[in-house]
Amino acid sequence: MKTVNINNLYIIIQARMTSTRLPKKIMLPLCNSTVLETLINRLYLYKDNIIIATTNDGTEKDIIDLCIKLNIKYFKGSTENVLERYYQSAKKYNLKKNDIIIRITSDCPLIDVQIMQKTIDKYLSGNYDYVSNRIERTIPIGLDVEVFNYKILQEMYDNAILDFEKEHVTPYIYISNKNKYRIGSYKEINDYSKYRLTLDEKDDYLAIKEIYRKFNNNIDFSYNELIDMLESNQYIYDINKNIKQKIIVN
């Protein structure tokens, strides 16, 4: 797989142990390791670019231990104000205003580097403040990528007032100020948004484990290979099809 040929790129992954629907979900076993380590391994080409933005509420020890084990950068911050945690993570590692930030959440162990790169390419190809593949969704839930720079992150941090802006990091751009910012969407030609590949509840975990079982717990497969497998095994879709995705309420 080809990596993005830029030096000023940081993947900031928010991670916590205090999920209300499935506590400690990112440390559940997966692919002979854990959900979080599997996600990191899927991003192995970008290991030096990763920052884990975790909490400082006393529950984060397993996350920190994993970061130390894998030599991954990390920061501990507010549990509830995720925007502040995100900003302080970037500040700790001295990001500059034009440094590119890739936002990923830790409950997405099927994250795809090819989809990520295409979203980054969309950001770089136009005069955008923010690009994502989730606003006009064609990809499965769980392969979400958001791209912006440190300057925009600082603006969000300095100006966000509402709770939902602070809890979810980027709604300040695409909800509260969507007419102010230049927003772009990366879309695939074919729509596979019906598939749910994120980890919020037990059935999500069962579906994700089954996907990896079909790949013999090998983590190195492409987006097209993933989609072909899902299309050929519709029973996997049925495992967690009834789970409702949490909607951001402003």
- The pLDDT tens digits of the residues spanning 75-93 come to 999 999 999 999 999 999 9
Q: At what angle do helices 82-92 and 150-159 cross, to 10 degrees?
A: 140
Domain ranges of the chain: 9-196
Retrieve residue 173's tokens: 């751009």
Is CATH 1.10.3720.10 the classification given to domain 9-196?
no
pLDDT at 6: 64
Would you say 60 and 16 are in contact if contact means Cβ atoms under 8 Å apart?
A: yes
Asked if pLDDT for residue 19 goes beyond 70, the answer is yes
Q: Which residues contact 14 (CB under 8 A, 6 or more apart)?
A: 53, 54, 82, 85, 86, 103, 105, 106, 169
The closest alpha carbon to 193, from 120, 115, 248, belongs to 115
28 pLDDT higher than 70:
yes
